[in-house]
Amino acid sequence: MSNEYADERADLAAVLRWAAREGMQEAAGNHCSLSVSENGDQFLINPDGKYFSNLKGSDLILVNLDEHTSTKRANLSAWLLHGQILQRVESAKCVLHLHPKYATVLATLLDSTIYPVDQVSMRFYNRVATDSEYSGMIVDQTEADRLCDVLRDKNILMMGNHGVTVVAPSVALAFDELYHLERACETLVTAYTTGKELKIVSSDVAKRTAQDWQDFIYSAELHFAELRKKELQNANDFANQRLKFVPIMEFQGIKKTAEFVDTIHSIYKELPKPLRFDETDFIDSLNDSKTILTTLRLDNVNGDIIGFAKGGPLETYNLRSEIKDENHGKKNTVFLEPIALRMGYWGLGAGHTLRQIFLMQAHTMNFDFLTSFAFRDVIEKRTKSMEKAEFVFKFDPERWDYYRIEL
C-alpha cells in the first residue's frame, strides 16, 4: 500500500471508478495514466486485470520508463502508448484510453467525424485527431510512435475500429473532456439512427462555441470537485462514525414495491457490464422465492439503500461453460453474485458487511457451500483465512476466478 503521490493516486482512482459507473470499462482492460514527473518518464497507471469499480489509489502502478520498472504488472499496450504520449505530447499530463460505447460506435464508421450538431459536440470542433489505420493491439514501439504522430497537437484521438484516447494537462480536465466526448458521440449516433439529415451549424458558429468552451474551462475543475467531494464526505463521515451501515435480510418471496425494485436496479446498473448476472431477468429475480437478497441501508432500517448482495441456488445460474462444478445438481451450494454498491461507498467496509450477512443467511438456509467469482489475489488471501477458500476454476489471463468455500 503506497502513500507516494497520494493526492495524484486519489484523483486518478476516482476517475476510474466514475468510468465504471458510466459503463466505460471493458472487462478488466483499458488504461488511464497520470504523469508524476516533469518529462513524463514516471507515471501512475491502473494495474492489469483489476476492475475500475472498487479501485483504490494505492492499487495504481508507478511506472519508471528510464529504469524499465513498475511496482506491479503493467499492461504492455498501456506501457507503450502512455509512455510515448506522456513524453512526446506537450499538453499531456493525464491520458485516458477507454472504449466508451458511443465513442467506439462512432469510431467504427468510415466517417467518425464529430459534427457540430449541438452545443456539446461543438466543444470538440477542430480538436479531434482520427486514426483510420488500425492493425491490431499495440505490442511494439512502432505502433505507439505512429499513434503519437497522428495525435500531434490535438487533445482527442478517435481510434478507428478501437476506441478513444483523451489527453489533458490535469486529471480534472481529462475527466471532463471524456465525459462530454461520450455525450457528444451519444447525441450524434442517436441522430444517425433517425435516418434524417443532420443539421450541422456553420463553421463560424462551431469555432466560436468551441472557444467559449475553452474560456469556461474552469468548470471542469468544478465538475471533478463535485465528484470527489461526495466520495471524501462519505469517507470522512465513516471515519468519524457519522456514517452507519445497517444490513437488512430482505424477506424471500415477498413482492417488492416498485420503488424498492427501481432502487436495487439502479444500483445494479452501476456494476460494470461483465459483472451483471442474468441482466434480462434481474428485476423478475428480485421477487423469486429462491433469491437471497441482503441490502445495506444508511443510518437505520428505513434509510437509503446504498448496496446489496444477491444470490441463490447454484442450479439457477448459467455460468461459463468452462466451469465444471462438482456440486451442480446436488442443491447444496449457493452462488453469490458480485456485490453492488453506490459509487462513493467502496473502501468503507460496506462490501465486507454485505458479504458476511449473506454468508450467515445462506448458512441458516442449510446450504453447505458458497461459490462466487473474485480476483485471484483476493481468493488467494481467503485460502489462508478461516474461510479456507479453494479455487474451482482459474481464467487465464483474466485472473477473475471461480472459487468455493464451505459454510
More confident call, 23 vs 159: 159
One DSSP character per residue, 64-117 reads ETTTTEESS---HHHHHHHHHHHHH-TT-SEEEEE--HHHHHHHTSS-------
For position 3, what pLDDT does the model report? 65
Q: Which CATH architecture has domain 244-406?
A: 3-Layer(aba) Sandwich (3.40)
CB-CB contact of 357 with 247 (8 Å): yes
Return d(Cα 137, Cα 195) in angstroms, integer: 33
Grid cell 507503450 is found at 80
Q: How confident is the model at residue 28 (pLDDT cuts 50, 70, 90)?
A: low
Return d(Cα 296, Cα 5) in angstroms, integer: 33
Question: Model-level pTM?
Answer: 0.68
Helices (H) and strands (E) in the chain, counts: 12, 16
6-230: CATH homologous superfamily? Answer: Class II aldolase/adducin N-terminal domain (3.40.225.10)
CA-based nearest residue to 34, from 75, 68, 2, 5: 5
Please report, for the chain, the start and end positions of each structural domain, with discontinuous segments joined by +.
6-230, 244-406
Average pLDDT in the chain: 88
For position 311, what pLDDT does the model report? 95
Q: Which three cell numbers stand for residue 282?
A: 434481474
More confident call, 3 vs 295: 295
CA-based nearest residue to 10, from 51, 54, 58: 58
CB-CB contact of 221 with 171 (8 Å): no
Which tens digit of pLDDT belongs to each residue from 259-286? Answer: 999 999 999 988 877 778 877 889 999 9
Return d(Cα 228, Cα 18) in angstroms, integer: 10
For position 279, what pLDDT does the model report? 78
More confident call, 216 vs 16: 16
Which tens digit of pLDDT belongs to each residue from 329-368? Answer: 999 999 999 999 987 777 778 888 999 999 999 988 999 9
Which tens digit of pLDDT belongs to each residue from 161-185? Answer: 999 999 999 999 999 999 999 999 9
User: Of 265-269, 317-321, 369-373, which has the strongest mean pLDDT?
Assistant: 369-373
pLDDT reading at 324 higher than 70: yes
Instruction: Give the Cα-Cα-Cα angle 210, 16, 349 (nearest 5 degrees).
Output: 145
For position 1, what pLDDT does the model report? 43
Domains 6-230 and 244-406 share a fold: no
> Helix crossing, 171-193 with 6-21: angle to 10°?
10
Query: To the nearest whole percent, how much of the chain has pLDDT over 90?
Result: 57
pLDDT reading at 229 higher than 80: no
Return d(Cα 34, Cα 171) in angstroms, integer: 7
Q: Which three cell numbers stand for residue 186?
A: 451519444
Q: How confident is the model at residue 236 (pLDDT cuts 50, 70, 90)?
A: low
Return d(Cα 98, Cα 19) in angstroms, integer: 9
Return d(Cα 226, Cα 406) in angstroms, integer: 43
